[in-house]
Amino acid sequence: MKRKEARERARELVAKMSLEEKMTQLRYNAPAIERLGIPAYNWWGEALHGVARAGCATSFPQAIGMAAAFDEALIGQIAGIIATEGRAKYNAYSAQGDRDIYKGLTFWSPNVNIFRDPRWGRGQETYGEDPYLTGVLGKAFVRGLQGDGEYLKAAACAKHFAVHSGPEAVRHSFDAKVSVKDLRETYLPAFEQLVTQAGAEAVMGAYNRTNGEPCCASKVLMEEILRGEWKFEGHYVSDCWAIRDFHENHHVTKTAAESAAMAMNTGCDLNCGSTFLHLMEAYEQGMISEDRITEAAERLFTTRFMLGLFDETEYDDIPYTVVECEEHLAVSEKASLESMVLLKNDGILPLDPGKLGTIGVIGPNANSRTALAGNYHGTATEYITPLDGILQYVKDHNTSGKRDVPLRVLYSEGCNIIEDRVEALAFENDRISEAMIVAEHSDAVILVLGLNETLEGEEGDTGNSYASGDKQDLLLPASQRALMHALSQTGTPVILCMIAGSAMDLSFAEENFAAVLQCWYPGARGGKALAQLLFGDVSPSGKLPVTFYRDNDPLPDFRDYSMKGRTYRYIGHAPLYPFGYGLTYADVSVKKVQLQDESCVLADVCNEGSRDTCDVIQVYAEYCESRDAPPNPRLCGFARVHVKAGETVQVCIPLDPLTFKVVNDAGVRIPVRGKVRLYAGTGQPDARTRQLTGHECAYVETER
């Protein structure tokens, strides 16, 4: 349904409501208005990487893992599946009269905040540190979720607007101070694209203040930019209980009624929380008008009409049986395969089961279901841990008739995921002793370490023990570091598989282990994908969407939102593993690149290896003579390409429409002047990537 028609129907319906009835509809848990035939509706839904918190659903890799695939089409396909399963659940739940939380069609996803600092616990929910990559993938997610039918298949929400990426511990009172250049160059571009190009139906405000204004009542962000410049016509929702922070933590108001009025008058239409229970008090004190209440209600009912919640739609017949169907699970497994990033390989990978007698699988995340999911997840019917995946792969190989002597798998947990202060140290040492015994009896060790949602995530989540969801540093917990050191002394080659949602310090593994594979939170069936990669059924093809640092690297203060020294665009030293980096089992490089026009470059991609592979060809722009450009080349295009062994293919890589523009200190995007160099390769044109891959990027120059 077109917005104009939906808005007219919304006006007609809202006009029949009393003032008090209109106010009740501005809360996330809107009650029924039976006299008008309006059922209750709960606006709160989550879907970062699968329908979350509403029972069983297909579990995809966490958002940061999906970003590592650098696969725009796959992100759109995943979002379409999420919408399909969301519709199936809505149809089934509403038929039972169940209209409770998490069971609607308004999903508060995607999260397009910039993962500017590796310590941020919620960075796992984002698409990484780059504004262009975040915008491309975020648009694909929104389009896939909302669909292209007569009605919205589901409603997407771009969050958290804006300048929001930690610290979690102080987010309810924090003021993120940011220059207008950084605001326009880094923190806003993805939001702008989701609103103006993908048509995101909702925008969610952040908890913090930005340059003094609370983000759920910011005249600059909400009135001047979102509604003014970008012409946003959807609805604005507060983060949960963020409006309460106005008077309790930010102290920009004194009472709940003042906070409700401040948010409402600035354009916040929907309150996740309880502060809008004070709207009548604010109205009676003359702080808000009925016209503004009416406008908010009309915006919200416009969304409900666009979803077809009062009509028969093409989605009404989607059956519950599509949830976790074979087709959806296959896409989840594909996403897991594409998301994992090979960071080091001394030649041990892929493993040849014909040359191994015993494999040791060790580590606290080796057989952990919790580690598969990340945060904001649903429930899977089946979980395949790394141990499960390896055991099944070995079982299939042993029964294939290719071996006379079965390949063995030995397992040890090795240690707790984090040192348990209650647990006796002797018991912890006993676990490490078992791990060393397993290693000494194995031809190779697959060591699965990392974090889970109890160690990094959102402030206030049950179990978070690291600075309210943030990491205090980039080190693994002491128990895991002790295990790594012990295993490095055994003489058995170790393959580290890191399950975590952020960049950890992997310098010890880089120096002491045979291979390193970043697995992120790979989804409920991630162990199957991991086994396929380890044994070479599929070549790794993921790339890092964030920079990996060493723990002693000079990171800026966590509370400093300046981009100086942050992310690959502004870093001033060589990282451990650069943004965009990732190895394959082949030998892919770009031999030639040419600028076809301002929207596309042509790259000749050559695979000089002996294996077929997918790889991600990336284009970076270096502004050689511009004082307004970031100091390092920035990503402005990418494409996944399949290249057979010994083959050279030409690929057309679309360019960011803003490739030949830069943002000046006044926050204005202006045409670049002078020489621009466009690099194309399997990673950045930086010295560390050249050192790790052994390849230079091809480049072409153009004068502006």
Locus of tokens 């649903």? 378
d(CA 678, CA 698): 8
Among 155, 170, 167, which Cα is nearest to 204's? 155
Single-letter amino acid, residue 596: Q
Strands 358-362 and 444-450, how do they pair?
Answer: parallel
C-beta of residue 242 within 8 angstroms of C-beta of residue 256: no
Alpha helices in 535-628 (DSSP H): 567-570
Single-letter amino acid, residue 509: A
C-beta of residue 514 within 8 angstroms of C-beta of residue 442: no
Strands 408-412 and 358-362, how do they pair?
Answer: parallel
d(CA 689, CA 698): 13
d(CA 278, CA 175): 25
Alpha helices in 15-161 (DSSP H): 19-24, 63-68, 72-95, 131-146
C-beta of residue 448 within 8 angstroms of C-beta of residue 365: yes
C-beta of residue 340 within 8 angstroms of C-beta of residue 520: yes
C-beta of residue 689 within 8 angstroms of C-beta of residue 680: no
d(CA 79, CA 215): 27
d(CA 229, CA 82): 31
- Between the alpha carbon of residue 556 and those of residues 411, 504, 552, 565, the distances in Å are 40, 16, 12, 7
Cβ neighbours, 10 Å, residue 609? 17
Among 174, 223, 204, which Cα is nearest to 271's? 204
> For residue 497, how far is the Cα from the chain centroid?
20
C-beta of residue 378 within 8 angstroms of C-beta of residue 54: yes
Helix (H, G, I), strand (E, B) or coil at 360: strand
| Cβ-proximal residues to 98 (8 Å cutoff; 6+ apart), any chain | none
d(CA 71, CA 154): 22
Instruction: Name the helix (H) or strand (E) containing 95.
Output: helix 72-95
d(CA 252, CA 479): 44
Report DSSP state, residue 165: -
Instruction: Name the helix (H) or strand (E) containing 78.
Output: helix 72-95
d(CA 622, CA 617): 17
The one catalytic residue among 239, 269, 505, 615: 239
d(CA 410, CA 439): 9
Is 269 labeled as catalytic in the residue annotation? no
- Report the catalytic residues: 239
